Amino acid sequence: MKKLLTKSWVRVLAGTAACLVAGTAAAQSLTPLKVRLDWTPWGIHGAFHLATQKGWYKDAGLDINFEDGNGSVTTVQIVGSSDNFDVGHAALAPMIIARDKGLPVKAVAPFARRNDIGVLVPKDSDIKGPADLKGKKLVYTAGSLEAPFVDAFLAAGGVKRTDLELLNVEAAAKATTYAVGRADAVVSTIPFIIASVSKTRPSVAIPFADYGLNIPSFGIFANESKLASHGEAISKFASVTARTWEYIWAGNEDEAVKAIIAARPQARLDPESLRGQLDALKPYFGKPVEGYRMGMPIPAEWDDAVKTMTKLELIKGGLPATDFYVTGMVKPEAYDGMIGK
């Protein structure tokens, strides 16, 4: 009996050791990627946290480490000028501007294809467009992703900066400044701010895109050196994320909200605001285009974006649109079997 028990324990221990070795080997086989985000947790991060929670990145052979950011402009600069991150996620307009100035970054997967920057005004306001901002107080953040578009938006209504009061505040204070009534309007990323400020001050949005200022919005980009050295892993990351967005927009928004909250429990995030952000984001992902799945760059849209930004003198216009993005890296169809409808 003693010998049988001993042999039994040997088998158990051997099995346990084998599992540990297998688990370690599996973990070692995952390719690590460090991703710098645009901001602290909000709706646009839904696909990242849901894919992590579901284990889809790991199933694709990836070990993703996300780090929160403090603005798209900063994220672009950090990812483009240092070796600390493999991938960045940010508004792609600052990326286009940075590349035009020589920073070696390129877009990989534009998710929100329509410019989501605009002006929020109270629902009961008489402000319907840029012309109505004359004599008003507009809060914004100098140096932020929306700042370069303010003058062009105002000009569309025949208004100059000198015709209104521009109140420059830190990005984190912008929503509160407007919500408590210290300004008549606020310039920001519409989906990010509208759900939260509307609880205190019901508001409507005036998108810049409605005034000829359409550019790609949020998406994944990378430094050219990382694209060369980590191309396969970046492609998998972009593809899984794209397929996850398709899953979310198929009626699984609440799963995304829960995943964001679970990933950042210490942030005490409001599920209602997160769901509001997702609902506000969906139109900015654009309408489906035949032949293109989620996250695939659409050449015609990038041509228009470069023309718009050149006209506004935000970029010099010496580079073709194809120089700002890479193709063939986003393949959501590769994960149709892994990620359910």
Cα–Cα distance, 73 to 143 (Å, whole number): 8
| In CATH, 117-211 is 3.40.190.10 | yes
Backbone angles phi, psi at 309, to 5 degrees: -70, -30
Question: What are the pLDDT digits (tens) for 88-135?
Answer: 999 999 999 999 999 999 999 999 999 999 999 999 999 999 999 999
pLDDT tens readout for residues 315-340: 998 999 999 999 999 999 999 999 97
Assigned fold of 30-113+217-335: D-Maltodextrin-Binding Protein; domain 2 (3.40.190)
Per-residue pLDDT of the chain (341 residues; tens, 9 = 90+): 444 444 444 444 444 443 333 343 345 599 999 999 999 999 999 999 999 999 999 999 999 999 999 989 999 999 999 999 999 999 999 999 999 999 999 999 999 999 999 999 999 999 999 999 999 999 999 977 788 889 999 999 999 999 999 999 998 899 999 999 999 999 999 998 998 899 999 999 999 999 989 999 999 999 999 999 999 999 999 999 999 999 999 999 999 999 999 999 999 999 999 999 999 999 999 999 999 999 999 999 999 999 999 988 889 989 999 999 999 999 999 999 999 76
pTM for the predicted model, two decimal places: 0.86
| Start-end of CATH 3.40.190.10 domains in the chain | 30-113+217-335, 117-211
CA-wise closest residue to 167 among 183, 143, 156, 180 = 183
Kindly write down the DSSP assignment for every residue of 92-154, as one continuous string.
Answer: HHHHHHHHHTT--EEEEEE-S-S--EEEEEETT-S--SGGGGTT-EEEE-TTSTTHHHHHHHH
**Residue 170 to residue 320: CA distance in whole angstroms:** 34
